[in-house]
Amino acid sequence: MSGKKIGSYEELLQLSEDARRKILVREGSDVMVSVCTGGPGNETQAHEVARALAKEIGKRGLRARVGLKESTGLPVTGTVVEVRTPRDGVVLYGDVTPDIVPVLVKEHLLEGQIVREHLLSQSRGETFRTGL
Amino acid sequence: MPENQYRAHVLCCRGTSCTAGGSADIFELFREEVAKRELEGDILISISGCHGLCSIGPIVVIYPEDILYCQVEPSDVPEIVEKTLVRGTIIERLLYKDPRTAVPVPHYHRIPFYRRQQRIILKNCGIINPEKIEEYIARGGYQGLAKALYKMSPEHVLEEVKSSGLRGRGGGGFLTGRKWEFTKNAEGRPKYIVCNADEGDPGAFMDRSLIEGDPHSVIEGMSIAAWAIGADKGFIYCRAEYPLAVKRLRIAIEQAREYGLLGENILGSGFDFDIEIKEGAGAFVCGEETALLASMEGKRGEPRPRPPFPAQKGLWGKPTNINNVKSYATIPQIVLHGSDWFSGIGTEKSPGTAVFALTGRVNNTGLLEIPMGTTLGEIIFDIGNGITKDRKFKAVQTGGPLGGCLDATSLNLGVDFDSLVEAGALMGSGGMIVVDETTCMVEMARFFLQFAVAESCGQCPPCRVGGAKMLEILDRITQGEGRMEDLDLLEDIASTMKDGSLCALGQGTPNPVLATLRSFREEYEAHILDKRCPAGACPALSPSPCQSACPAEVRVPVYISHIQDGEIAEALRVHRESNPFVSVCGRVCPAFCEDKCRRGELDEAVAIRDLKRFMADAESGDWVPRPAEKLETETVAVVGGGPGGLTAALRLGSLGYRSTIYEARPALGGMMRFGIPDYRLPKDVLEREIESILRIGTVDVKTGTALGKDVTLEDLLKRHNAVILAIGAQGCRKTGIPGEDLQGVMTGMEFLAAMNSGEDVSYVKGKRVAVIGGGNVAMDASRSLLRLGAEEVHLIYRRQRADMPAIEEEVLATEEEGIKFHLGTRRWRSRKLSAEEERVRFHYLVSPLAIEGRDGRVAELRCERLRLTNDRGRPEFDGSARKRPFSVPDSEFVLDVDLVIPAIGQKVEQPSLESEGVSLNRDGTIIADSRSFETSRKGVFAIGDAVLGPASVVEAVGQANRVARAVDRYLRGLALPEPAEFMPREEPRRFEMSEEDAGRPRVKSSVLAPEVRVQDFREAELGFPNAKCAWIETKRCLRCDLEERG
């Protein structure tokens, strides 16, 4: 098992950084992305979106968390994703598919741009509470 | 890295407590369920260490939603997966609920228990998987060690620890840096690092939880210590009774070696250090460092005299540094964040945080970490969320069996090493056991002593002989066989043990006894002199908790069993042996018996008061008490015709003495007649009860004869052979605010007495009234005012609702009646108050400032708001263990009222007594011996409210029973007080309860709906609707009195 041995300070810091990403989910964050689970038939799609979101956010090392939320959304809007950030308040996107997740993450979470094509609503008024 | 993609993490607590609750199965079930739904790639199922709130385990935490589910059963797992992990909904049933308000708290970190904590030592507990080193490293683990090895010299590390001011967390509080320095400078090699994980106090589980939840922090701390001191070998001495802790340590050590964090050339720095686990056999004394070392060397675990200290001559005669688990776990944080950061937390002399295992009678029990200097009150009432069942706080035992207990006067004490020692307790390793009024302090001291005696190694005589001797004495006292000399003897032995014992075990063994003797001496005296256990906990002195709790010592389980058998007459006879006021007490008794009822620990107390009322109502025919066959020539004057005076006269009759009751008012009954409104106690019920007592035929009654006005004590002593003063507390305390002399201000008692003696009080109709106070008189006044047609009643109380001295049922009834109801609904019990509907407004945390008048009449009441924290935002506690109110600046407001009724307590008003040779206390109560009831004047005895201050009917009755016997002994020339006797008790026998009765809920009595009863003074509580209900309720009694003793 000598392959695991940490040989220097820098190696430890690197390992810590990598390991931290894996349990980042357990730390609090003020950026929360919630995928709404719709009616019975819609769950698979919601989970696919959630999976894609988690992967994309993990890849980019963002501080956002991906949660699930029982939906009140309409069937016409497909899978609904709610993004809460301190800057933009609560933004609802409709008709989200795993394909557009990278766009959503890049534009909204990374660059702070609302993705207009999928926007359902935005509310800045809601008091924001951090998770932890 | 595939793990990166987990959307959610489910952490099943695998601390000892949750594991015992079945969390291993829960963990496996989660894996299966998640696999079934093909979510393994999305959801990580993992384990964690202890979260601290062990009482609500098994705990499951779900991230990132931060949901905490408690008391999870394996059968809940599919539901959690389906609802929360698949659909994203929260299952309310499984959430943590505030024990007081039952409001669910969905988010883990918003639970009040955690909000006031500051977690440094426990920062990873419950968050990481303790069996995965990567998760520890992810949280900054081993960076302290890396920093020490790469950026700091050993001297620099030592300097940092020294200047942090860290003190040994094992309880001694010795400066850790100094200890390290001694070992470092000691001659000889090799040097050893030892971790003391021999935690053995009953009720303490800090070290265990820490090792189980975050074992690497201890390893890292020890490695840093080794670097600073120059050691290359470490040992963790952990008791074999902690198998899970040992297992986690083994895994952790193995993983640390794999990663090159233990062993040779750590982190490539050239530093070598390794750790070995030594399992102890579980002897408490091995927590003492020299005994621990002896045990590690394979010798008997016995302490040896110091010096030489282990720092000079430790393990195998080599310099050895021994620290507690928590001390080592703190080190990485200090190295990483610097000594200034650490010394900025806590108090100046005790920096950092303290970990406590809070157990006993608090709502939130568990493991907590707080900055040093947090007060005991904040720990118990804010983090611990107060005492269970809203009982009264009695004491807290800190420092385990060798510590001491502190009473309510210490609640403002900031907890640190020095303050606790100064107060007579110990920090110890951090056990904190809270006890309430149901705990006997003598029994508690005996329990801890028993533990310490069993754990004594037997080496030195003071500990071996002294401990056993003290235990023998305490055994005797709890059996009711104690002598007053025993108390001095206990103190004497204790001081010998303290001076002469070799180690902390022997020196500390007497601590609980000394501490309880200091704060609760009167409990020891009650055991010895009265053969009574005030808490009702010592089996030899207390036949049942209810009987012990009753001031008149009514044999509750016996009469309840007679009711069950349909023998109402016999049940009444048993009750009247101790208390003749069956009907009265069946309606207005505060029911101390129900507070202590053991059934209440399971679900709800047996409805003892309702059963009492049932048997009184079911009585056929009149009760005729029988006097003694031969009457003596001596006679006794009884001053006051209240419950105390009437009972005393009755008991004197059965002992063979004629008596005369002198009553100042025109009718008998005292407070029962003039203090209690008709809707609680109808006058005809009271009349019947008084009539039947007078049927004994030995009692003359002189009403309208006031002591000090119509007759003097001197006269009475000439006419009679003895005098019993049962004059009650008639006066009302003043608020002392300006404007009390205005027209429209009258005290609560004046108002009730005027109303109950038939005076015209119709002037309150349509008026707005402010009632000041939170006691029963305030409630009685408010409810009566509503019935008399007052427009609005404002109840002004300076504390919170839970602090009100009034009986809970009375407060509830007042709230109910204060609402204007829409007729046609009967669902009033569950209805919440809404401001528009209120006719009685409760103003909590408000204090009156002044009564303003117009033309000599009350016009308005000026008040200010109060809060329960001081200007630094922290609570302070008073002697009654309640938070002290502080005024809120600029919060004055005005209530427009026409009448003000202060009801803030009664007092004794009989100034003439002092001139007749009867000494009074400063508050006006009569000074009387608590056992013989003799006053300072020969032949004059005193009982009831006049001695106790405002109390209850049953307390006056209890004293009256005893004063009659005392007067009898006095008249027969026998010594006072009478020798104590054991309480009568039943023969133990087998008692079985059916499953059905065991699960039966308390039977509710009938109550008139508030919108009906508030219309007039008809009786509001109606008792059990029928005999069947009473019969069913009797079957809920657990018959504690039949229990086998010994």
Which CATH number is associated with domain A29-130? Answer: 3.40.30.10
Model confidence at B2, in pLDDT bands (50, 70, 90)?
A: very low
- B96-115 per-position pLDDT tens digit: 988 877 889 888 888 888 88
Model confidence at B332, in pLDDT bands (50, 70, 90)?
A: very high
Please tell me which of the candidates A13, A20, A66 has its beta carbon nearest to residue B7: A66
- B949-984 per-position pLDDT tens digit: 889 999 999 999 999 999 999 999 999 888 999 998
Dihedral sign for Cα atoms in the order B841, B847, B853, B857: positive
A69·B88 Cβ contact <8 A: yes
Q: Please, which residues bridge with residue B486 across strands?
A: none
The predicted model gives B913-926 an average pLDDT of 90
A50·B7 Cβ contact <8 A: yes
Model confidence at A24, in pLDDT bands (50, 70, 90)?
A: confident
Per-residue burial over B566-597, b = 16 or more CB atoms within 10 Å of its CB, e = otherwise? eebebbbebbbbbbbbbbbbbbbbbbbbbbbb
Please tell me which of the candidates A22, A43, A50 has its beta carbon nearest to residue B3: A22
Interfacial B residues in 79-108 facing A (CB < 8 Å): 84-89, 107-108
pLDDT > 70 fraction of chain B, expressed in percent and rounded: 98
Q: In this model, does residue B753 exceed pLDDT 70? A: yes
Q: How far apart are CA B948 and CA B931, in angstroms?
A: 13
Q: Residue B426 corresponds to which amino acid?
A: L
A29·B64 Cβ contact <8 A: yes
Q: How far apart are CA B586 and CA B672, in angstroms?
A: 13
The predicted model gives A82-101 an average pLDDT of 87
Token output for B346? 């806590």
Model confidence at B829, in pLDDT bands (50, 70, 90)?
A: very low
Asked if A5 has any chain B CB less than 8 Å from its own CB, the reply is yes
Q: Please, which residues bridge with residue B638 across strands?
A: B661, B724
pLDDT of amino acid A38: 67
**H helix intervals, B589-747:** 592-596, 599-602, 608-617, 643-655, 671-674, 683-694, 713-719
Residue in chain B lying closest to A59 (CA): B4
Model confidence at B1046, in pLDDT bands (50, 70, 90)?
A: low
Please list every residue in chain A whose beta carbon sits closer than 8 Å to the beta carbon of residue B144.
none
Task: Give the residue with greater pLDDT, B842 vs B314.
Answer: B314
Q: In this model, does residue B338 exceed pLDDT 60? A: yes
Please tell me which of the candidates A26, A29, A54 has its beta carbon nearest to residue B7: A54
Please list every residue in chain B whose beta carbon sits closer than 8 Å to the beta carbon of residue A19.
134-135, 137-138
Q: Which residues contact B1023 (CB under 8 A, 6 or more apart)?
A: B586, B610, B613, B614, B617, B1005, B1006
- A118-129 per-position pLDDT tens digit: 888 888 755 444
The predicted model gives B833-840 an average pLDDT of 54
> How many other C-beta atoms are found inside a 10 Å radius of the C-beta of residue B55?
15
- B707-741 per-position pLDDT tens digit: 989 999 999 999 999 999 999 988 888 888 999 99
Q: In this model, does residue B779 exceed pLDDT 80? A: yes
B87·A53 Cβ contact <8 A: no
B135·A66 Cβ contact <8 A: no
The predicted model gives B660-689 an average pLDDT of 95
Please list every residue in chain A whose beta carbon sits closer than 8 Å to the beta carbon of residue B149.
9
Please list every residue in chain B whose beta carbon sits closer than 8 Å to the beta carbon of residue A43.
86-87
Chain-centroid distance, C-alpha B61: 30
Q: How far apart are CA B558 and CA B991, in angstroms?
A: 13
Q: Is B955 in contact with B974 (CB distance < 8 Å)?
A: no
What global pTM score does this model have? 0.89
Kindly report the average pLDDT of chain B as a whole number.
91
B268·A13 Cβ contact <8 A: no
- B20-36 per-position pLDDT tens digit: 999 999 999 999 999 99
The predicted model gives B80-89 an average pLDDT of 89
Token output for A24? 């980042």
Q: How far apart are CA B906 and CA B145, in angstroms?
A: 67
Interfacial B residues in 30-59 facing A (CB < 8 Å): 39, 41-42
Residue to mutate among B63, B86, B147, with most A CBs inside 10 A, is B63
Interfacial B residues in 471-500 facing A (CB < 8 Å): none
Q: How far apart are CA A72 and CA B245, in angstroms?
A: 47
pLDDT of amino acid A75: 61
Pairing of strands B635-639, B722-725: parallel
Asked if A13 has any chain B CB less than 8 Å from its own CB, the reply is yes
Q: Comparing B178-182, B506-510, B1042-1046, which segment has the lowest mean pLDDT?
A: B1042-1046
A16·B8 Cβ contact <8 A: no
B137·A16 Cβ contact <8 A: yes
Selection from A90-99, B427-436, B516-525 with the highest mean pLDDT: B516-525
A37·B88 Cβ contact <8 A: yes
Q: In this model, does residue B835 exceed pLDDT 50? A: no
B134·A15 Cβ contact <8 A: yes
Residue to mutate among B4, B5, B7, with most A CBs inside 10 A, is B7
- B569-626 per-position pLDDT tens digit: 999 999 999 999 999 999 999 999 999 999 998 899 999 999 999 999 999 888 999 9
Please tell me which of the candidates A12, A51, A59 has its beta carbon nearest to residue B142: A12
Asked if A3 has any chain B CB less than 8 Å from its own CB, the reply is no
Asked if B66 has any chain A CB less than 8 Å from its own CB, the reply is yes
pLDDT of amino acid B985: 86
Q: Is A51 in contact with B5 (CB distance < 8 Å)?
A: yes
B63·A29 Cβ contact <8 A: no
Q: In this model, does residue B922 exceed pLDDT 90? A: no
The torsion of the CA quartet B827, B829, B835, B840, rounded to 10 degrees, works out to: 120
Q: Is A25 in contact with B8 (CB distance < 8 Å)?
A: yes
Asked if B343 has any chain A CB less than 8 Å from its own CB, the reply is no
Q: How far apart are CA B529 and CA B513, in angstroms?
A: 18
Q: In this model, does residue B489 exceed pLDDT 60? A: yes
B4·A34 Cβ contact <8 A: no
Residue in chain B lying closest to A62 (CA): B4
Model confidence at A132, in pLDDT bands (50, 70, 90)?
A: very low
pLDDT > 90 fraction of chain B, expressed in percent and rounded: 76
Q: What is the 3-state secondary structure (H, E, C) of B742-761?
A: CECECCHHHHHHHHHCCCCC
A7·B260 Cβ contact <8 A: yes
Q: Is B1041 in contact with B547 (CB distance < 8 Å)?
A: yes
B268·A8 Cβ contact <8 A: yes
Please list every residue in chain A whose beta carbon sits closer than 8 Å to the beta carbon of residue B84.
68
Asked if A67 has any chain B CB less than 8 Å from its own CB, the reply is yes
Q: In this model, does residue B823 exceed pLDDT 50? A: no
What angle in degrees, to the nearest 10, is found between the helix axes of B511-519 and B485-500?
140
Residue in chain A lying closest to B133 (CA): A19
Q: In this model, does residue B522 exceed pLDDT 80? A: yes
Q: How far apart are CA B1009 and CA B828, in angstroms?
A: 8
